[in-house]
Amino acid sequence: MHLPDLWDRVLLAVQTAVGAQDVDIWLKRATPIDARPEPGRTVDGGESSVTLVLEVPNRYYADWIRENYQAELERALLREDGRAYRVELVAAEDAVTSEVPRTDGALVAEEPSRAVGVMTAKHFGNFVVGECNKFAHAAARAVSDHPAEQYNPLFIYGATGLGKTHLMHAIANQILGRAPEARIVYVTAEDFMNEMIDCLRFKRMDDFRAKYRKRATVLLVDDIQTLSGKDRTQEEFFHTFDALQSSGRQIVLSSDVVPKDIDKLEPRLRTRFEGGLLADMQPPDRETLQAILIQKAEQLGLSLPIDLATEIANGASGSVRELEGKLSRLQAMARLNDEPLSLGAARRRLPDLFTTPMTQPDLAPSTIIAAVARFFGLRSADLTGTRRTRKLTVPRHIAMYLSRKYTRHSLEDLGREFGRDHTTVLHGFQKTAKDLAEDPNLEHQVRLIGQSLGLKMP
């Protein structure tokens, strides 16, 4: 049997046993590179067994697959090929390869203006896909393969630190790899606004409009929600958007929230944003966090032991940026102390690196809603109803924040609990989290409610 075909059948077979997400994250990164009979090894005195050699990205993948999936893989191989197999895992970092020059990203055009603001280190090859971001990743790949043909604009939304910017740079690099002549502009909404203000001040608006409306073939704008309330910038962006879209050029936008939840956004912009594809990104689960962690460690040249990676992932909040910060500290520790990374050394030298989740009472969202309503002299029905007044909005957002932070319910479940969609719950959570850092009175109210529920709050 042809080796790649056999491997595809094995992946399909083990999916029912270990789950599609585990296959996507761990096993699809393995590549069969050799299958050799072992004359000295027989099964029940009969036919020789076969050694299947799988190459995986690094030793962490090899150890994880060996410990968690090897037995299931060998059973699936026996079923699919009728012969006994022994799986051998080889890390790419240990393999002997010819010294071929490599680049850490897609090709970048020689003319700088063709790839303004694009980072080559962020591409699809080092973006870890899980259930939390699978849809957004697929949409980004579709846009990079066929710009302006299907999803225009592509609107990617989700909380800070989940990889929205990575996907945007990956789109740019993929397009440049296929079409080096493409003129791609990546900019944050704030930089777009500041550049426009400078051009207005120095009477260079023709240059500004030429850059964004005429020369750009793909425009990627990050953090579009920061245009909230910026009327002059919104007007300029509206005309830029229309000029690009009407001439068949791709637009990709990212935001913390969906368009309808961006405060003080012009209706004509909102309808255009919603006229494309909305793709959400959720916080990663522990398995995906581990995969992201080892991917980032590999890029930094760190050899991360399994137990250390597991401990870090277990204590992480779900933000990729948080993982990057912890890895930077580990890298500095390894360099300054000239010692290999280990869980013991990290615990000894960086004890605050591991945030152990505090034991919390097992609360239902309805219990939290009732406690918040009671604190503000309201009824639970007021917080789950349709009325939108200042008197109700703040308590409702507090209830969303506490339900998201201190229960294991998904955003979709919480949306049903509050009679809203999951993006509204996410917005309420993020707004309260932001306001807590700026409003001591709100922080005091939330703490009192938390104490009434028996929550252990930081």
| 61-94 residue pLDDT tens | 787 888 888 999 999 999 888 889 999 998 764 4
**Residue 187 in this model has a pLDDT that exceeds 50:** yes
Q: Are residues 276 and 294 in the same domain?
A: no
Distance (Å, rounded) from C-alpha 385 to C-alpha 379? 10
Residues 337 and 411 in one domain: no
**% of the chain surpassing 90 pLDDT:** 30
At 117 the pLDDT is 58
Is the residue at 104 inside a domain?
no
- Which CATH number characterizes residue 253's domain? 3.40.50.300
Of 137-146, 186-195, 244-253, 402-411, which gets the smallest average pLDDT? 402-411
For the chain, give the mean pLDDT. Answer: 83
Give the DSSP per-residue string, 186-251: EEEHHHHHHHHHHHHHTT-HHHHHIIIIII-SEEEEE-GGGGTT-HHHHHHHHHHHHHHHHTT-EE
Secondary structure of residue 281 in the 3-state scheme: strand
pLDDT confidence tier of residue 161, bands split at 50, 70 and 90: confident
Q: 353-390 pLDDT, tens per residue?
A: 875 444 456 678 888 998 899 888 888 889 998 887 87
Q: Quick check: helix, strand or coil at residue 41?
A: strand
Same domain, 291 and 336: yes
User: Rounded CA gap, 22 and 7, in Å?
Assistant: 16
Domain of 34, CATH number, reads 3.30.300.180
Checking if the pLDDT of 220 tops 90, the result is yes
Which range of residues forms the domain containing residue 65? 3-91
For the entire predicted model, the pTM comes to 0.57
Q: Are residues 9 and 24 in the same domain?
A: yes
Q: Tell whether 27 is covered by a domain.
A: yes
Q: Are residues 64 and 139 in the same domain?
A: no
Nearest residue to 164 (alpha-carbon basis) of 141, 184, 136, 183: 136
The confidence score (pLDDT) of residue 99 equals 26
Last residue of a domain, one of 281, 316, 335: 281
pLDDT of residue 310: 86
Q: What is the structure's pLDDT at 137?
A: 94
Work out the average pLDDT over 144-171. Answer: 90
Strand partners, 255: 157
Bond preceding residue 259 cis, omega within 30 of 0 = no
Q: Quick one: 292 and 166 in the same domain? A: no
Whole-angstrom Cα distance, residue 263 to residue 246?
Answer: 26
132 and 277: one domain?
A: yes
Q: Do 142 and 183 fall within a single domain? A: yes
Whether residue 140 sits in one domain with residue 71: no
Nearest to 216 by CA among 249, 176, 253: 249
Say whether both 87 and 119 belong to one domain: no
**270 φ/ψ angles, rounded to the nearest 5 degrees:** -60, -45
Domain count, the chain: 4
A 10 A CB-CB count for 267 gives 7
Same domain, 51 and 122: no
Q: Within a 10 A sphere around the Cβ of 261, how many other Cβ atoms? A: 20
Summarize the confidence of residues 141-155 as an average pLDDT: 93
Residues 268 and 336 in one domain: no
